[in-house]
């Protein structure tokens, strides 16, 4: 069975084509600068060179058509015709309270995703463009939506309600939802497999540390808490996002810096975080090298980030009454031995310790704690596309007996 996985951002489309017999990636691609000058499609058939195709890509529909043309191209395509695609899996950022699992897309589901756009105005609309474009171009092919929020729908009220009047939750759905759900779910499943046990018997803390960063407490297979909230702005200090701050700072800054609502939103989402603290970069690689050269604010940004992660780990150990494994994933979690060591340094009281030699390895699935550690530490490269493809396959088999 061949599955096309689509992830639409506001001006980008990421895609993969997978053959689910053996879960093989046949090709992947990235379209950037949709609706802008200089838009480009980078298409990579597995094991071959990347083809750069520059063209005017005014909208997501044209982008999807270009991706399908690349996949069926005589020279660098990997299938003969679009008819070989059995199903399409879409990443959808926000599923609100309605979508607790992946679903086959129908008109009713489309309306549901549209309704969630009110709480995810930046994310859900581009996801919908991608879905609608695929439905138009492949009208006989089943389409499945896989939500970033769904995995966290098992959080209890004590974890997801804010200290606001309850009516605001009822009226506007103002509550914590959490994000990166497919990633947290995937790495927890992989860790359970590596431990030779079932997720339902284990307590995990999964640290998705990339440009956007979140942590989840997964108790006996269910997410019981996570650091992102109503939007992906809450929680850890991130590349350019502030993470949690005293909400009173917002009206203060609006008044003192003469900012309107949109400007403060932009300030907290795009100009804060480690970029704002260091004044240098949102990329930890830049900060690590600047700190090595003695740049104090870069060092401070690194220290603040590691401190926050450690505090969340401690909080989630308390919330779950213990922990069996801590898992690192995403750009920083997978690739920075320095940051992993910094975060875990001082967690020995939990019964864990990093093995310095194992921790030197990067970007591959491995256990990095010392052999006799009671609490294991894993590095597990995330694979959200594979989770989307697996969910799509399972739903198509279950519901439409494909």
Q: Which residue has the tokens 């549209």?
A: 114
Q: How many CB atoms lie within 10 A of CB 210?
A: 19
Residue nearest to ligand AMP (CB): 331
330 lies in the site for ligand AMP, by CB under 6 A:
yes
Token duo for residue 134: 């695929």
CB of 397 to ligand AMP, least distance (A): 30
284 lies in the site for ligand AMP, by CB under 6 A:
yes
Q: Helix 296-320 vs helix 284-292: angle between axes, to the nearest 10 degrees?
A: 120
CB of 335 to ligand AMP, least distance (A): 4
- With contacts defined by CB under 6 A, name the span among 172-180, 196-204, 312-320, 329-337 that binds ligand AMP: 329-337
- Name the residues annotated as catalytic: 148
332 lies in the site for ligand AMP, by CB under 6 A:
yes
- Binding residues for Mg(2+) are 7, 384
63 lies in the site for ligand AMP, by CB under 6 A:
no
- With contacts defined by CB under 6 A, name the span among 41-49, 171-179, 245-253, 328-336 that binds ligand AMP: 328-336
283 lies in the site for ligand AMP, by CB under 6 A:
yes
Give the burial string for 23-50 (b: 16+ CB within 10 Å, else e): eebbbbbbbbebeeeebebebbbeeeee
Question: Within its chain, how far is the Cα of 126 from the centroid?
Answer: 16
DSSP 8-state secondary structure symbol assigned to residue 231: S
Nearer to ligand AMP, 285 or 360 (CB): 285
For residues 237 to 266, the per-residue mask of contacts with ligand AMP, x marking binding by CB under 6 A and - elsewhere, is --x---------------------------
211 lies in the site for ligand AMP, by CB under 6 A:
yes
- Nearest-angstrom CA–CA distance, 161 and 174: 8
Full strand arrangement of the beta sheet holding 376-379: 222-226, 213-219, 203-209, 325-329, 376-379, 366-367
Q: Which residues bind ligand AMP (CB under 6 A)?
A: 210-211, 239, 283-285, 330-332, 335-336
């Amino acid at each position: 069975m061949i599955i096309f996985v689509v992830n639409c951002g506001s001006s980008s489309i990421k895609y993969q084509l997978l053959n689910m017999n053996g879960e093989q990636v046949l090709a992947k691609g990235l379209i950037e600068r949709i609706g802008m000058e200089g838009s480009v499609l980078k298409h990579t058939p597995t094991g071959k060179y990347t083809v750069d195709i520059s063209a005017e890509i005014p909208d997501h529909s044209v982008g999807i058509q270009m991706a399908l043309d690349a996949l069926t191209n005589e020279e660098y395509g990997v299938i003969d015709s679009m008819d070989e695609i059995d199903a399409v899996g879409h990443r959808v950022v926000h599923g609100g309270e309605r979508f607790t699992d992946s679903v086959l897309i129908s008109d009713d589901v489309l309306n549901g995703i549209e309704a969630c756009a009110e709480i995810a105005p930046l994310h859900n609309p581009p996801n919908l463009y991608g879905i609608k474009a695929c439905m138009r171009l492949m009208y006989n092919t089943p389409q499945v939506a896989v939500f970033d929020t769904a995995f966290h729908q098992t959080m209890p009220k004590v974890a997801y309600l804010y200290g606001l009047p309850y009516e605001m939750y009822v009226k506007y759905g103002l509550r914590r939802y959490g994000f990166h759900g497919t990633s947290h779910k995937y790495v927890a499943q992989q860790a359970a497999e590596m431990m030779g046990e079932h997720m339902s018997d284990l307590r995990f803390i999964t640290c998705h540390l990339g440009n956007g960063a979140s942590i989840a407490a997964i108790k006996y297979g269910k997410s019981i808490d996570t650091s992102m909230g109503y939007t992906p702005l809450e929680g850890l200090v991130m590349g350019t996002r502030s993470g949690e701050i005293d909400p009173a700072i917002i009206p203060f800054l609006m008044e003192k810096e003469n900012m309107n609502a949109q400007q403060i939103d932009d300030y907290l989402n795009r100009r804060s975080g480690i970029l704002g603290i260091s004044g240098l970069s949102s990329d930890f690689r830049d900060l690590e090298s600047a700190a090595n050269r003695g740049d104090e604010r870069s060092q401070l940004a690194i220290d603040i980030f590691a401190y926050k992660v450690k505090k969340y780990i401690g909080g989630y150990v308390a919330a779950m009454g213990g922990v069996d494994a801590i898992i690192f994933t995403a750009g920083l979690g997978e690739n920075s031995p320095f940051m992993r060591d910094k975060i875990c340094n001082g967690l020995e009281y939990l019964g864990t310790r990093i093995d310095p030699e194992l921790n030197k390895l990067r970007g591959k699935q491995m256990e990095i704690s010392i052999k006799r550690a009671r609490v294991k530490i894993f590095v597990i490269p995330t694979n959200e596309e594979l989770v989307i493809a697996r969910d799509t396959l399972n739903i198509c088999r279950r519901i439409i007996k494909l």
